[in-house]
Structure 1
């Protein structure tokens, strides 16, 4: 009951803020905090507030007098809490082509590479996409990792990552392509020994963003995000933060920021 009342209070608070913004009564000086939600991803969204994403978002908003309120929630529930119930202002880790009613800043927060998984005992080489040629390659139905014209292999689709691991273990596919965190979660659920597998990365990554609730208040949040990303980049703080977590600034961010400077 206490948890439900807390969620209702947060919802009502956000609703009042959004209404004030839409009537012109709110501007940046009235905004004291931003609430952002994400699943727990080690090194990115740690529960103690450390991690690349949390630290970057603090560096963006806190110098502007806006305190970051973060929450750790499983993905599907987190998305509903932003888009349907409007408890949180934004979610971290969404793709730009999302079908959810979100709005996005100019700059991505990260780039995600799909993992290519094989059984180590098979000794299959990895020399980029050419290694898939003539093999049986599996990915989740609807992923469309590669367009038809690049599929010189037999595609095997399945509905869950766990099903893909079973196909790989049985030798019914040679390579499996999926998101690393989904593979790790499915393997952990089965107490699977990850030492049995060899991991590589697909050559092309996909940018991931902070997705904001579609509201007038979010327009202010996004404006601050874009401005501060430019400032952090030019002060070298952005590079230092990504290096701290052994991550890479998305190339699209670098390209956009360099274009701004020209």
Structure 2
């Protein structure tokens, strides 16, 4: 009888860790950081899942267009965006985690185009394709000396660039090359400018309308420190060929 009671007590003590709370996350395809491939869901997704798991959370991730994902997180209907750039505007409605990686945002041009970026003035008169809702930085977005036609995704902008409907688009080089490959576009049709627009740290974010936003971000920060210390973070990077 005593052994039975000890067993039951042990099982009861184990229950909280056996049934992890499930939270939601969403974002658009953004390889290699975000991918619809279940076996390779992306760096940002795997880092978020691993970090939150150490704090007792399971993450239910889904793919959706960026503008919709941002809106759902902002309104608190979805808990996390796994890969977010910082903008001053977004601090009004998003809680930011510690940064975990960095993107370098370069301009993409058609192969053979002599253009080189040397500041926002060098974009005068250009048609620069952007992705709707992306945080390119306040100075870039408020500049009025060039046009910024938007699209739902980078693939659309790359096709518009090929068709000479825009002069430039911009993205992290690693993301752009992965997107070209997945979309069946020939990377030799494009070139990257030598100078970049900016270097953007990546963060996980949660909407301030979500009553648990700060709790989730605090948990992520603790989990991130844990997976960096135990080697999980580096193992995820290595899985995607990043050292």
TM-score (norm 1): 0.60
Residue number among 171, 181, 196 corresponding to 1:179 in the alignment? 171
Q: Which runs of 5 or more residues in structure 2 are unaligned?
A: 1-15
> Are residues 1:234 and 2:234 paired?
no
Q: Choose from 202, 206, 209 the match for 1:208.
A: 202
Distance 1:109 1:74, change over 3 A: farther
Deviations 1:224-248, CA, capped at 9 Å, x for gaps: 2111222222333323322332347
- Residue 101 of structure 1 corresponds to 93
SS at match of 1:220: helix
Residues 200-259 of structure 1, C-alpha deviations (whole Å, 9 max, x = no match): 4617411122111223422221222111222222333323322332347xxxxxxxxxxx
CA distance in 2, matches of 1:78, 1:160: 17
Q: Secondary structure at the match of 1:42?
A: coil
* Cα distance, 1:138 vs structure 2: 5.1
**How far has the Cα of 1:88 moved from its partner?**
1.2
In the aligned structure 2, how far is the partner of 1:71 from the partner of 1:243? 24
Offset at 1:147?
10
The 1-side partners of 2:73 and 2:123 are apart by 43
Query: Are 2:69 and 1:87 equivalent residues in the alignment?
Result: no
Tell me if the contact between 1:119 and 1:169 (Cα under 8 Å) persists in the aligned partners.
no
Q: How does 1:28-107 map to 2 (within 5 A)?
A: 32-47=21-36, 48=38, 50=40, 51-84=42-75, 86-97=76-87, 98-99=89-90, 101-105=93-97, 107=98
Task: Note the alpha carbon deviations across 1:36-65, whole angstroms, 9 max, x for none.
Answer: 111122332222163211211121122333
Q: How many positions carry a matched residue from both structures?
A: 205
Any conservation in 2 of the 1:136–1:172 contact (CA below 8 Å)?
A: no
Q: Is the 8 A contact 2:161 2:169 kept in 1?
A: no
**Would you say the 8 A contact 1:33–1:69 is kept in 2?**
yes
Once structures 1 and 2 are overlaid, which stretch shifts more, 49-58 or 192-201?
A: 192-201
Partner SS, residue 156 of structure 1: coil
For residues 236 and 185 of structure 2, the distance between their equivalents in structure 1, rounded to whole angstroms, comes to 33
Distance 2:82 2:51 in 1: 14
Match of 1:113 in 2: 104
Give distance in 1, aligned partners of 2:161 and 2:48.
Answer: 40
**Alignment-derived partner of residue 188 in structure 2:** 195
3-state SS of 1:44 partner? coil
* 8 Å Cα contact 1:118/1:197 also seen in 2: yes
Q: CA–CA distance in 1 between the matches of 2:43 and 2:123?
A: 39
Residues 147, 129 of structure 1: CA spacing in aligned structure 2 closer, same or farther, 3 A cutoff? farther
